[in-house]
Structure 1
Amino acid sequence: MTDTPIESLSYEAAREELVETVRRLETGGTTLEESLALWERGEALAKRCQEWLDGARQRLDAAGESADREE
Protein backbone atom coordinates (compact mmCIF):
# COMPACT_ATOMS: atom_id res chain seq x y z
CA MET A 1 0.00 0.00 0.00
CA THR A 2 1.35 3.41 -0.89
CA ASP A 3 0.77 6.81 0.61
CA THR A 4 0.20 8.40 -2.80
CA PRO A 5 -2.97 10.51 -2.71
CA ILE A 6 -5.64 8.57 -4.56
CA GLU A 7 -6.95 11.62 -6.41
CA SER A 8 -3.56 12.01 -8.11
CA LEU A 9 -3.44 8.44 -9.47
CA SER A 10 -3.98 7.64 -13.12
CA TYR A 11 -6.52 4.95 -13.94
CA GLU A 12 -3.78 2.43 -14.59
CA ALA A 13 -1.95 3.18 -11.34
CA ALA A 14 -5.16 3.03 -9.30
CA ARG A 15 -6.19 -0.26 -10.94
CA GLU A 16 -2.76 -1.79 -10.38
CA GLU A 17 -2.75 -0.79 -6.72
CA LEU A 18 -6.32 -2.07 -6.34
CA VAL A 19 -5.33 -5.47 -7.75
CA GLU A 20 -2.40 -5.63 -5.33
CA THR A 21 -4.63 -4.57 -2.42
CA VAL A 22 -7.16 -7.31 -3.21
CA ARG A 23 -4.34 -9.85 -3.48
CA ARG A 24 -3.02 -8.85 -0.07
CA LEU A 25 -6.48 -9.09 1.48
CA GLU A 26 -7.10 -12.52 -0.07
CA THR A 27 -3.71 -13.82 1.04
CA GLY A 28 -4.34 -12.86 4.64
CA GLY A 29 -1.63 -12.69 7.23
CA THR A 30 -2.39 -9.10 8.19
CA THR A 31 -3.73 -7.77 11.44
CA LEU A 32 -7.32 -6.63 11.69
CA GLU A 33 -6.18 -3.01 11.68
CA GLU A 34 -4.04 -3.55 8.57
CA SER A 35 -6.89 -5.38 6.86
CA LEU A 36 -9.28 -2.53 7.58
CA ALA A 37 -6.80 0.00 6.23
CA LEU A 38 -6.35 -2.11 3.08
CA TRP A 39 -10.12 -2.42 2.68
CA GLU A 40 -10.65 1.32 3.03
CA ARG A 41 -7.87 2.10 0.56
CA GLY A 42 -9.27 -0.52 -1.82
CA GLU A 43 -12.73 1.07 -1.68
CA ALA A 44 -11.23 4.48 -2.43
CA LEU A 45 -9.17 3.02 -5.29
CA ALA A 46 -12.25 1.34 -6.78
CA LYS A 47 -14.10 4.66 -6.60
CA ARG A 48 -11.19 6.42 -8.34
CA CYS A 49 -11.18 3.83 -11.12
CA GLN A 50 -14.93 4.28 -11.58
CA GLU A 51 -14.48 8.07 -11.76
CA TRP A 52 -11.92 7.61 -14.54
CA LEU A 53 -14.21 5.23 -16.43
CA ASP A 54 -17.21 7.54 -16.03
CA GLY A 55 -15.14 10.46 -17.32
CA ALA A 56 -13.97 8.43 -20.30
CA ARG A 57 -17.58 7.42 -21.08
CA GLN A 58 -18.68 11.07 -20.95
CA ARG A 59 -15.89 12.08 -23.32
CA LEU A 60 -16.80 9.30 -25.75
CA ASP A 61 -20.47 10.23 -25.61
CA ALA A 62 -19.65 13.90 -26.22
CA ALA A 63 -17.38 13.02 -29.14
CA GLY A 64 -20.12 10.84 -30.62
CA GLU A 65 -22.70 13.61 -30.29
CA SER A 66 -20.30 16.07 -31.88
CA ALA A 67 -19.68 13.72 -34.80
CA ASP A 68 -23.43 13.21 -35.25
CA ARG A 69 -24.01 16.98 -35.45
CA GLU A 70 -21.25 17.37 -38.05
CA GLU A 71 -22.89 14.82 -40.34
Structure 2
Amino acid sequence: MSERPVNEMSFEEAMKELESVVDALERGDVALDASIALYERGALLKKRCEDELKRAEEKVAAITLGADGAPTGLKPVEGL
Protein backbone atom coordinates (compact mmCIF):
# COMPACT_ATOMS: atom_id res chain seq x y z
CA MET A 1 0.00 0.00 0.00
CA SER A 2 1.06 3.55 -0.66
CA GLU A 3 2.30 5.90 2.03
CA ARG A 4 1.04 8.86 0.00
CA PRO A 5 -1.54 11.03 1.79
CA VAL A 6 -5.02 10.16 0.55
CA ASN A 7 -6.01 13.82 0.11
CA GLU A 8 -3.24 14.21 -2.51
CA MET A 9 -4.42 11.29 -4.65
CA SER A 10 -6.37 11.52 -7.85
CA PHE A 11 -9.62 9.58 -8.13
CA GLU A 12 -7.88 6.91 -10.18
CA GLU A 13 -5.02 6.51 -7.71
CA ALA A 14 -7.39 6.28 -4.75
CA MET A 15 -9.63 3.78 -6.54
CA LYS A 16 -6.69 1.55 -7.49
CA GLU A 17 -5.38 1.51 -3.92
CA LEU A 18 -8.88 0.93 -2.54
CA GLU A 19 -9.17 -2.15 -4.77
CA SER A 20 -5.84 -3.41 -3.37
CA VAL A 21 -7.05 -2.86 0.18
CA VAL A 22 -10.28 -4.76 -0.48
CA ASP A 23 -8.38 -7.62 -2.11
CA ALA A 24 -6.00 -7.89 0.87
CA LEU A 25 -8.87 -7.87 3.37
CA GLU A 26 -10.88 -10.43 1.37
CA ARG A 27 -7.91 -12.84 1.24
CA GLY A 28 -7.89 -12.81 5.03
CA ASP A 29 -4.17 -13.51 5.28
CA VAL A 30 -3.36 -10.21 7.02
CA ALA A 31 -2.72 -9.98 10.76
CA LEU A 32 -5.41 -8.36 12.87
CA ASP A 33 -3.50 -5.11 13.51
CA ALA A 34 -2.66 -4.80 9.82
CA SER A 35 -6.28 -5.54 8.90
CA ILE A 36 -7.47 -2.69 11.12
CA ALA A 37 -4.95 -0.31 9.55
CA LEU A 38 -6.00 -1.45 6.06
CA TYR A 39 -9.66 -0.95 6.93
CA GLU A 40 -8.97 2.58 8.19
CA ARG A 41 -6.98 3.40 5.04
CA GLY A 42 -9.78 1.92 2.93
CA ALA A 43 -12.35 4.16 4.62
CA LEU A 44 -10.24 7.23 3.82
CA LEU A 45 -9.79 6.10 0.22
CA LYS A 46 -13.53 5.48 -0.16
CA LYS A 47 -14.29 8.98 1.13
CA ARG A 48 -11.74 10.48 -1.29
CA CYS A 49 -13.35 8.68 -4.23
CA GLU A 50 -16.84 9.79 -3.17
CA ASP A 51 -15.69 13.41 -2.82
CA GLU A 52 -13.98 13.40 -6.22
CA LEU A 53 -17.06 11.86 -7.89
CA LYS A 54 -19.32 14.49 -6.31
CA ARG A 55 -17.02 17.27 -7.51
CA ALA A 56 -17.03 15.84 -11.04
CA GLU A 57 -20.82 15.48 -11.03
CA GLU A 58 -21.19 19.12 -9.99
CA LYS A 59 -18.94 20.23 -12.83
CA VAL A 60 -20.88 18.16 -15.37
CA ALA A 61 -24.19 19.50 -14.06
CA ALA A 62 -22.90 23.05 -14.49
CA ILE A 63 -22.35 22.70 -18.24
CA THR A 64 -25.06 24.46 -20.22
CA LEU A 65 -26.01 23.32 -23.71
CA GLY A 66 -27.18 25.47 -26.60
CA ALA A 67 -30.04 24.69 -29.00
CA ASP A 68 -27.64 22.71 -31.19
CA GLY A 69 -26.57 20.57 -28.22
CA ALA A 70 -23.09 22.06 -28.05
CA PRO A 71 -21.74 23.38 -24.75
CA THR A 72 -22.19 27.14 -24.54
CA GLY A 73 -20.42 27.76 -21.27
CA LEU A 74 -20.22 26.88 -17.68
CA LYS A 75 -22.44 28.04 -14.89
CA PRO A 76 -20.56 28.82 -11.71
CA VAL A 77 -20.94 26.06 -9.14
CA GLU A 78 -21.12 27.26 -5.56
CA GLY A 79 -18.11 26.21 -3.54
CA LEU A 80 -15.83 25.46 -6.51
TM-score normalised per structure 1: 0.88
Offset of residue 63 of structure 1 = 1.1
> Over aligned residues, Cα RMSD in angstroms?
1.2
SS in 2 for 1:2: coil
SS in 1 for 2:50: helix
Counterparts of 1:29-40 in structure 2, within 5 Å, are: 29-40=29-40
Write the distance in 2 (CA, Å) between the matches of 1:42 and 1:6: 10
Ranges in structure 2 where 5+ consecutive residues have no aligned partner: 67-71, 73-80
Larger helix proportion of the pair: 1
Offset of residue 62 of structure 1 = 1.0
Q: What is aligned with 1:55?
A: 55
Larger strand proportion of the pair: 2
Bigger relative contact order, structure 1 or 2, given CA contacts below 8 A and separation 6+?
A: 1
Counterparts of 1:1-71 in structure 2, within 5 Å, are: 1-64=1-64, 67=65
Ranges in structure 1 where 5+ consecutive residues have no aligned partner: none
TM-score normalised per structure 2: 0.78
How many residue pairs match? The answer is 67
SS in 1 for 2:53: helix
